[in-house]
Amino acid sequence: MRCPLVWGSLEENRKLWESMGSSYLVETKATAPTLFFYNTDDDAYYEDQIIHLKKKLDQLAVPTTSLINYGKGHAIPQTAKDLNTLYSFFKNYLNPPKLDKTKK
């Protein structure tokens, strides 16, 4: 993973890691709803960054959903149950504009 090579270890450089993380970029409740998915047997900094970002989003009342330990390591969900969690999230928050078929 490149992050430790560039920023040093999380334990020794927490402030730098935090300034590079997503939570540093979130400033208002106008942030998009966020789906977190990760496995706790993956590199520890994934979970650490997600915990901080989710806390900030929760404080701003930005909707979040979490899918944790759905598989192994750095992977995407693959079971019907877990994929339905992802699809439900997107169905709930992704609302493309409707086409007015009466106009030509």
Residue 104: the pLDDT is: 60
Instruction: Name the token pair of 1.
Output: 């993973």
Q: Note the pLDDT tens digit of each residue in 58-73.
A: 999 999 999 999 999 8
Q: Do residues 4 and 32 make contact, with C-beta atoms less than 8 angstroms apart?
A: no
Residue 98: the pLDDT is: 75
Instruction: Name the token pair of 22.
Output: 């997503």
How many residues does the structure list for the chain?
A: 104
CA distance 15 to 90: 33
Residue 83: pLDDT band by 50, 70, 90 thresholds? very high
CA distance 19 to 58: 19
- Poorest-confidence range of 31-35, 52-56, 100-104? 100-104
